[in-house]
Amino acid sequence: MNSNTSQTVMVVEDEEAFIEALVVGLRREGFGVEVARDGAEALSNFDRISPDIVLLDVMLPKVSGTDVCREIRKKSQVPIIMVSAKGTELDTVVGLEVGADDYIVKPYRIRELVARVRAALRRSNVASSGEAVETGASINVGDVVIDPEQHVVTVRGTVTKLPLKEFELLYVLIANAGRVLTRDTLIDRVWGSDYYGDTKTLDVHIKRLRSKVEVDPGNPTAILTIRGLGYKFERPA
Ligand code: CA
């Protein structure tokens, strides 16, 4: 519990009942909690708070959760967990598309939420210490060069910036180019074996990667879906 005392969760939420439960629940687990009650407040306080993780409601007054996520991603790779009410899952998928790491649907158990928060923090700590992705020389397959040490991806000669999870997913795919990786393997390798979020997260990240890597994202030739199994990064013939 004490190991979390220095970690701050920024809760962006407009419903008092949720705020109260989150503040109590997260503090009890040893986290510091800062609350923003609308999207504008979240953005204006983000730099000052410098949170270790952001819990971001989708439906917010003034600036929506997805727009807040998009703005934060312009300057920070802080883990972001989107929170949506049932029926607004579509907004959450948009959230993943603009760079959120995970999402959880209301109503949730505080225990599950804390587990997700811890998992996201652990992944981000491992990643920033360089252990999540085996470091080594650049790998070049087809149009893509990926450099795990410099954390740089070059697609057809153009350097492309990728959010952390997309980078890790692409690295695992390319490091195993020509081999089919099951969904479970990919989720384990990129999100951790303790991940029990929605498996749609994987598909959304694949979609985002395709939009950056493929010549025609609607007709992928590099990142292939292997029906019923998983995905494969194709080696060019
Ligand atoms: Ca709300």
Q: For helices 200-213 and 183-191, give the axis angle rounded to 10 degrees.
A: 90
What is the CA(116)–ligand 1 centre distance, in A? 19
pLDDT tens column, 176-235:
888 888 888 898 888 877 776 777 889 999 999 999 999 999 999 999 999 888 999 998
- For residue 62, what pLDDT band results from cuts at 50, 70 and 90? very high
pLDDT at 90: 67
CA of 70 to the centre of ligand 1 (A): 17
DSSP string, 55-102: EEESS-SSS-HHHHHHHHHTT----EEEEEETT-HHHHHHHHHTT--E
What is the Å distance from ligand 1's center to 181 Cα? 37
85-123 residue pLDDT tens: 866 666 666 777 778 888 888 888 888 899 889 888 877
User: Which domains does the chain possess?
Assistant: 8-128 (3.40.50.2300), 139-233 (1.10.10.10)
pLDDT reported for residue 35: 98
Centre of ligand 1 to C-alpha 4, Å, is 27
- Say how many Å lie between the CA of residue 57 and the centre of ligand 1: 6
What digits encode the pLDDT tens for the residues 121-171?
A: 877 766 555 444 444 678 899 999 998 878 899 999 999 888 888 999 999
Average pLDDT over residues 50-64: 94
Identity at 81, one-letter amino acid code: I
Cis (ω within 30 of 0) for the bond into 79? no
How far apart are alpha carbons 55 and 103 in whole angstroms?
Answer: 9
Mean pLDDT of 12-37: 94
* Residue 178 alpha carbon to ligand 1 centre in Å: 44
CA of 53 to the centre of ligand 1 (A): 18
Give DSSP secondary structure letters for 107-152. S--HHHHHHHHHHHHHHHHHHHTT-SS---S-EEETTEEEETTTTE
pLDDT recorded at residue 185: 85
Span 40-68, average pLDDT: 95
Token pair 């979020």: residue:
197
Model confidence, pTM: 0.58
